[in-house]
Amino acid sequence: MWVFFGSLFLLTTGTFSVEGEISFMRHGIPPARETDETRASSPEWGTISQRVDHFNPADNRMWDMVVVAGSSYAGSLAAWARIKYPHKIDIAYSSSGPLHTKADFPEYFAAVEESLRLASPTCPQLIRRAMADAMKMLETREGAATLSELFNTCEPLKGPVEPDRSYFLTSLSSPFADVVQTADPGDLVAECERLENNTGSDLEKLAKYIKPLQYCIWTYDLFKEYYSETHAIGVRMRSK
């Protein structure tokens, strides 16, 4: 049996901003075309290493053991941390941490879609049609303005301008990823029902589903501002 007394846990969870590239847990994890070299230079490594060193004993107490734990992208970080600092980190717990890096990860949403399909075959079809409409509307200024209003975005959408466009489309799809992963705010049958019970066009049904989930829908600029202030907010640790 492991005795964890005196152990240091670094809990790495959530979303990271890496060298200006947004690496969401689900989308392009970790940063696209990351090589061993760029991976090694990501600021989290410095942070993780520093935290371990920092909590090394100013008080003459040695940590018996250092454990890193994380899920999803943070699970990747946990596993890589152990590989990179085997002399500092004794155990890595990596839950669903993708280790094979690739530029895109369409398999993720294929699994989300399949889960929704099992709950209600018409549910992912509705989402697909609504997303197609949204993509078409983003091509024009007028369409973008209509979408901004329909979905109550915190700032006006910029239309076809990247990454504003992709970020918005992500906010339309990620609630379904969340519900598949966590059954929150409800199980898939209930959530698909809630979506499909809405009235109006497919896009209006989607908007009525998405809007109540947030005070307003974030834009990329807001997101970037928020994360540049807090830097690597995903790194949390339990102090002694």
Ligand X SMILES: *[C@@H]1O[C@H](CO)[C@@H](O)[C@H](O)[C@H]1NC(C)=O
Give residues 69-88 in contact with ligand X (rule: CB under 6 A): none
How many CB atoms are located within 10 Å of the residue 213 CB? 12
Task: Indicate whether 122 belongs to the interface with ligand X (CB under 6 A).
Answer: no
Q: How far is the CB of 149 from ligand X (least distance, A)?
A: 25
Task: Indicate whether 197 belongs to the interface with ligand X (CB under 6 A).
Answer: yes
Task: Indicate whether 193 belongs to the interface with ligand X (CB under 6 A).
Answer: yes
| From candidates 111, 190, 213, 216, binder to ligand X by CB under 6 A | 190
Task: Indicate whether 213 belongs to the interface with ligand X (CB under 6 A).
Answer: no
Q: How far is the CB of 45 from ligand X (least distance, A)?
A: 45
β partners of residue 65? 7
Q: Give whichever of 56 and 120 is closer to ligand X, judged by the CB atom.
A: 120
Q: How far is the CB of 195 from ligand X (least distance, A)?
A: 9
SS3 label, residue 12:
strand
Report yes or no: 46 and 7 within 8 Å, Cβ to Cβ.
no
Task: Indicate whether 208 belongs to the interface with ligand X (CB under 6 A).
Answer: no
How many CB atoms are located within 10 Å of the residue 49 CB? 15
Report yes or no: 27 and 53 within 8 Å, Cβ to Cβ.
no
User: Which window, 20-28, 31-39, 58-66, 189-197, contacts ligand X (CB under 6 A)?
Assistant: 189-197
- Nearest residue to ligand X on Cβ basis: 197
Report yes or no: 174 and 101 within 8 Å, Cβ to Cβ.
no
Task: Indicate whether 189 belongs to the interface with ligand X (CB under 6 A).
Answer: no
Pairing of strands 235-237, 7-12: antiparallel
Q: Give whichever of 184 and 225 is closer to ligand X, judged by the CB atom.
A: 184
Q: How far apart are CA 221 and CA 189, in angstroms?
A: 34
Q: Give whichever of 90 and 193 is closer to ligand X, judged by the CB atom.
A: 193
Q: At 167, list the tokens.
A: 């970020």
Task: Indicate whether 194 belongs to the interface with ligand X (CB under 6 A).
Answer: yes
